[in-house]
Structure 1
Amino acid sequence: MEAFRILDAIACPLPLSGIDTDQLIPARFMKRSRADGYGDYLLHDLRFDESGQPKPDFPLNASRWAGARVLVTRRNFGSGSSREAAVYALVDYGFACVIAPSFGDIFASNAVNNGLLPATVSEEDCEALLAGLEDGDGTARVDLEACEIRAANLVIPFRVDPVWRTKLLNGWDDIDLTLSHAATIEAFQAKDSSARPWLVPSVRAS
């Protein structure tokens, strides 16, 4: 994964609560190959009407939010089923960060494993940010090193699990995170093998 440190990007406000994973990508689109990309199906039933035409009043369809890489929304984002395809849809669409007061636990874990930052802010800061983006130029700076968002003349702190922050800052997956402790692991193995040699598997010659 690409390391995430500072992101300067268009930030799209989506003032909705409880957007679940089935809304992020309806199940009927999950039969399609990931190689073809899931971005076109992100929030499909909210973005498009029954005839497949974009709804003009939906934020992601507005020209001012075209190319947005930050999504700002309300509480309980990504609740519902554990489908990782919901994260695929966001990433394939182009998002690198979602800002909200709370996230579904499994969604947030899946997000980090795909390089997507789930930045948790207070309800008050979220509402201020949503309003500021509507009235301002719609850009934001997300600084993962400082855990800080700058947008619409606001400076807003955000929270992210420290282990997830380490993974994102370095572009690591779970295996990379484990390998970063290789020296400690090897030292423990050597000490434990000396203290309890009977636990070390013996290798018989064939």
Structure 2
Amino acid sequence: MRHTLEQTPAWLSKCVLFAYLFVYGETLAIIGHVVSARRHHDALVVQAVHHLSMIYLLEVALAAVYGMCTMTGNWTRSELILHHAPYVLAVMMVIHVPGEYDKDRITHWSAAMVASLLTAANEALLIVEALGAPPWVGRARRVYGFSVILSLFSAEISCYISALSRAYVVWAHPSFRLSQSYVLGVAGDHVVTGAIYYHSKLLMMYIRRWCRTKTL
């Protein structure tokens, strides 16, 4: 039997909604900087990722401690934790776990991190739906969500393959010596395989829904 989470009070849902919108605004600013200046802004990406992670941890705490959720969708406690917690683990490992073979680690993973930040709008729309938005908002959210998850899935695979290539180049060098930093770096890169699997399942869910209803 599914035990779904209760809806948070409207004022709390709105606070979390504004937090997600703030992160989405940060993301658009980052994309604007990259397009106009044609260079990465790692510090801005890391800052926005930390902000999104803090919101996710708040959502996890609300679910785990109070059995509450800000979003629509009849979430269970385990589903919401699985939706949020692995992301925080993955990005924190990329940002904070050293990798001696990859000195520009954040830059190399920035495409996937920026794509993940775009999901803030999807989470915001889930809250808007929970607050009583009309049905067309849900349809618009699903179209946006599918597009963003597809982009994120592609970016994760691309960044992961590039990370494996860099690790292999170092490993194949005649002077290579196995070190703790190398092992931690490779382990941090492999964490993303869980995200790739999870997002592939989400994409299949969207596709099955479309096959069944002819709409996202």
TM-score, normalised via structure 1 length: 0.29
- The structure with the largest alpha-carbon Rg is 1
TM-score, normalised via structure 2 length: 0.28
More helix by share: 2
